[in-house]
Chains A and B, each alone.
Chain A
Amino acid sequence: MVAELLRRTWAMTWKDVTVELRARERVNAMLFFAALVLFIFNFALGPDREKLREVAPGLLWLAFLFTGMLGLGRSFQAERENECFEELLLTPGDRESIYYGKLAGNVLFMVIAEAMILPLFAILHNLDIWGLLPSLGIVAFLGTLGFSAVGTLLAAMTAHLRAREVMLPLLLFPLTVPVILASVRATDAILNGGGLGEVGHWLKLLVGFDVIFLVVSPLVFEFVLEE
């Protein structure tokens, strides 16, 4: 059972990665967008380094989330534009594997973008984060997982709506406030020299959110895909 689910999920993810490797539609756009966001923050806030240091965790996560949103929106729209949605539904086996497969792809693309945003952010704002990378990485991964767990489901839903580009963020942000809050607070504490132990309760909240939505989302995903 589990092996079968994993195999199907892997097939789904591999399909998305292959498409991405050939078309380079999503990740390139995400990376360029992320660079632009970082660039624009500079104009919005001015070059005052002390002020920036205070708001750095929030800015960093805004860059992560806006970039992630861009990628999430594409994950099912591309299927629709290429008229592959029906074929997707015809794949044998549980729909869960479609959800997990898409989710894995979305997390992967978002992590790639984050891996570029983080060092660029540190260089632009002269932050010394190199020693903090492991703990920042854990927070970023947990946050990204929770955000994408809800986002993948909502992306499948909004792909069928009018005004879909608008609806995804409108639905996704209110639902993921706990992830945003916990990630920003934890990142803040880590950037100010706190260890992972100090942000334990935020990490617990992130893990709790991830687990709940990794279980609930695939259960209701089926209802979203019905035609």
Chain B
Amino acid sequence: MAPLSLAARLHGGVAVLLLAVGIFWGLKVVPPDAFQGDVQRIMYLHVPSVSTAYLAIIVTFCASILYLWKRDLRFDAVALSSAEIGVVYLGITLATGSIWGKPTWGVWWTWDARLTVTAIVFTMYVGYLMLRAFAEEPQAGARYGAVLAILGLPAMILNHFAVQWWRTLHQPSSLLRPGGPSVAPVMLWPLVFNIVAMLVAYSYFLLERVRLERIRHRTAEVRLKRGRRG
């Protein structure tokens, strides 16, 4: 297969550019938060990461269902790739949340509802990646992965309720809430911009990772054919 196409390079370039502008906007241009000061700026990385992570998980879920239905390994490549990227973003979310939590709440970690659910989802998808790594044949790995991703969704929803009843301390969401966002426009726009930038980066990672996975499938096929002939 050819090296990166022009379109892919452009895509990657745009993602880098958007992220750079978004980070500059969030870290330099926007005024500091009235109560939290400069610490609050981590939001411009934290919120885009968590939204992208959950989007990645939904993509994995849908691609898994499509794989079991159509049995096309391309869908599985999407599911696996999206899960991998999702785990990275969940990791960033937990790390940035922790860094923000120390000066704001006074602790690195607390068993708050949303923190806990995100940590559980993180462990679920790390498990998913391990399952894929330990599967003996690719077809079986694809099937098991799809089944796990499908089980993951109701488990996530139930986790959400369970943990919600258990405890809650996190600030309520300031973006998606009844009555419109509660963030000041001067902060809202860079946040939205950063989310878009992160989504462009996600789409770039996803396309490239899927391409790699396809090359891997192709290599395995060629090896198999050679082996048969020899």
Contact = CB atoms under 8 A, between A and B. Distances in A.
Interface in B152-166: 152, 154-155, 158-159, 161-163, 165-166
A226 B143 contact: yes
A201 B162 CA distance: 10
A120 interface: no
A224 B152 contact: no
B127 A153 contact: no
A61 B225 CA distance: 52
A175 B135 CA distance: 19
A154 B159 CA distance: 18
B161 A178 contact: yes
Contact of B162 (A171, A205, A212, A224): A205
B150 A220 contact: yes
Chain B contact-residue range equals 20 to 34
B68 interface: yes
Nearest to A170: B127
A202 to B, nearest CB: 8
Interface residues of A, number: 32
Interface in B65-105: 68
10 contacts: A173-B123, A174-B121, A177-B159, A181-B166, A185-B166, A209-B158, A223-B143, A223-B146, A223-B147, A224-B144
Interface of B: 68, 120-121, 123-124, 127, 130-131, 134-136, 140, 143-144, 146-148, 150-152, 154-155, 158-159, 161-163, 165-166
Given A157-B147, A157-B148, 7 more contacts: A157-B144, A163-B134, A171-B131, A173-B123, A178-B155, A205-B165, A224-B147
